[in-house]
Amino acid sequence: MQSVRLKSRQWLEDTQGNIIIGEGRQRIFELVEQTGSINQAAKLMKMSYRGVWGKIKATEEHLKKKVVITERRHGSRLTEDGKRLLTNYTRLKKDCQEEDEKIFNKIFK
């Protein structure tokens, strides 16, 4: 068999299929935390401010918690709930990828 590798993605959604967090929102939250700006995060992702803001608000509505706080003087940053969501999602992805790799190797190698 030629060289083969497994690719997989994980995201969380509500019971209606609405995305709560996936790779795109993970990146948004990381960039907001790094840059202190929703606008800057949007530019780096080549998205509109409105698009990024909409994704943040959708996550907050599904969780019924604020994940990003915006202040005029201090810019934007993740709340403690936002940091926890990002940390837990990042850990979930890492753990899933490790387990997926074990299963892949057991079956294909």
pLDDT tens digits for 62-103?
Answer: 999 999 999 988 899 999 999 999 999 999 999 999 999 999
pLDDT of residue 19: 95
- Looking at residue 109, its pLDDT comes to 77
What per-residue confidence (pLDDT) applies to 2? 64
Q: Which domains does the chain have, with CATH numbers?
A: 23-102 (1.10.10.10)
pLDDT-derived band at 5, boundaries 50, 70, 90:
confident
So what's the pLDDT on residue 83?
98
pLDDT tens digits for range 9-20 = 999 999 999 999
The answer, yes or no, to whether residue 1 has pLDDT greater than 60, is no
Q: For residue 53, which of 67, 63, 72, 34 has the smallest C-alpha distance?
A: 67
Residue 108 pLDDT class (50, 70, 90 cuts): confident
Cα-based distances in Å from 61 to 9, 35, 41, 45, 67: 23, 23, 20, 22, 10
The model's pLDDT over 28-70, given as tens digits with 9 standing for 90+, comes to 999 999 999 999 999 999 999 999 999 999 999 999 999 999 9
